[in-house]
Amino acid sequence: MLNVSIYRYNPEVDQEPYMQDFQIDTQGKDIMVLDVLEKLKVEDPTLVFRRSCREGVCGSDGMNISGKNGLACVTPLSEAVKKNKLVIRPLPGLPVIRDLVIDMSQFYAQYEKIQPYMINNTPAPAIERLQSPEERAKLDGLYECILCACCSTACPSFWWNPDKFIGPSGLLQAYRFLADSRDTATEERLANLDDPFSVFRCHGIMNCVQVCPKGLNPTKAIGHIRNMLVRSAT
């Protein structure tokens, strides 16, 4: 039997959060953490978590799994269980709504701040805007972000300043548009980021890179933005 310890909190009945222990028979199979949660929910319908695609592309089920942020649906028990114990908590640093469900408003607000859409004020051609494979390749490792918040909620700088530091996810997306040959708002985008907090609170701790379930590298993207800011200042 696998021991599972899960963070519980229902604002309607609990004064404060607590850890609840469950036992589950996985029949020795290396199932995903999400499968464990689904099985437990059959027994305890009050257990609450988000999930959708169950294949690691929608970003719903980011949570803290045995101390590391990740997606429950693509984290097998073999990676998550230590000494026959699985510990599941909500992503850290943001308010908890209930159990494993966090309030992501601040995370989304930082995403919206970077103007996460293409800006190109030149008249659009009758067909697509042309982009070479080399120019397009610059977007690889950036556009794949699924907004799961595993990175930003693993970042101490984001914990301290979630209202002012854009955070790794938002900055990765900021660079996704700065790097796009079709976008013409580079100066405006850099000006919006040019303050002591938005970018420069990143101290290169690299927790974001450690936890990204899509293998992306926000720290590298932030480095590129820093260089662009320094260059545009001189």
Partner 1 sequence: MANIRTMSFDAVIVGGGGSGMRAALQLAQSGYKTAVITKVFPTRSHTVSAQGGITCAIASDDPNDQWQWHMYDTIKGSDYIGDQEAIEYMCQTGPEAIFELEHMGLPFSRTEEGRIYQRPFGGQSKDFGNGGQAARTCAAADRTGHALLHTLYQGNLKNETTFLNEWFAVDIVKNADNAVVGVVAINIETGETVYVKTKATVFATGGAGRIYASTTNAHICTGDGIGMALRAGFPVQDIEMWQFHPTGIHGAGTLVTEGCRGEGGYLVNKDGERFMERYAPNAKDLAGRDVVARSMVLEILEGRGCGPDGDHVYLKLDHLGEETLNAKLPGILELSRTFAHADPVKEPIPVVPTCHYMMGGIPTNVNGQALTIDSEGNDQVIEGFYACGEAACVSVHGANRLGGNSLLDLVVFGRASGMFIEQQLREGVDLKDASEADIEAAMAGLNRLNDSTGGENAAVLRAELQTIMQNYFGVFRRGDFMQEGIAKLAALRPRIENVALGDKSNAFNTSRIEALELQNLFEVAEATAITAEARTESRGAHARDDFKERDDENWLCHSVFFPDDKRVGKRGVNFTLKTREAFEPKIRTY
Which residues contact partner 1 by CB under 8 A? 10-13, 38, 41-42, 45-46, 48-60, 74, 76, 97-99, 101, 104, 108, 112, 115-118, 120, 124, 126-133, 135-136, 139, 143-144, 146-147, 177, 180, 182-183
Give the shortest CB-203-to-partner 1 separation in angstroms.
Answer: 28
Minimal distance, residue 160 CB to partner 1, in Å: 25
- Least Å distance, CB 228 to partner 1, is 19
Asked if 147 contacts 60 with a C-beta cutoff of 8 angstroms, the reply is: no
Nearer to partner 1, 144 or 194 (CB): 144
Q: Which two tokens stand for residue 148?
A: 């799961």
Q: Closest approach of Cβ 67 to partner 1, in Å?
A: 21
Nearer CB in complex with partner 1: 143/159? 143
CB 194, min distance to partner 1, A: 22
| 7: Cα separation from own chain's centroid | 20
Sign of CA dihedral 210, 212, 216, 221: negative
- Complex with partner 1: residue 45 or 67, whichever CB lies closer: 45
Instruction: Closer to partner 1 by CB, 54 or 220: give it.
Output: 54
Q: Whose Cβ is closer to partner 1: residue 107's or residue 165's?
A: 107
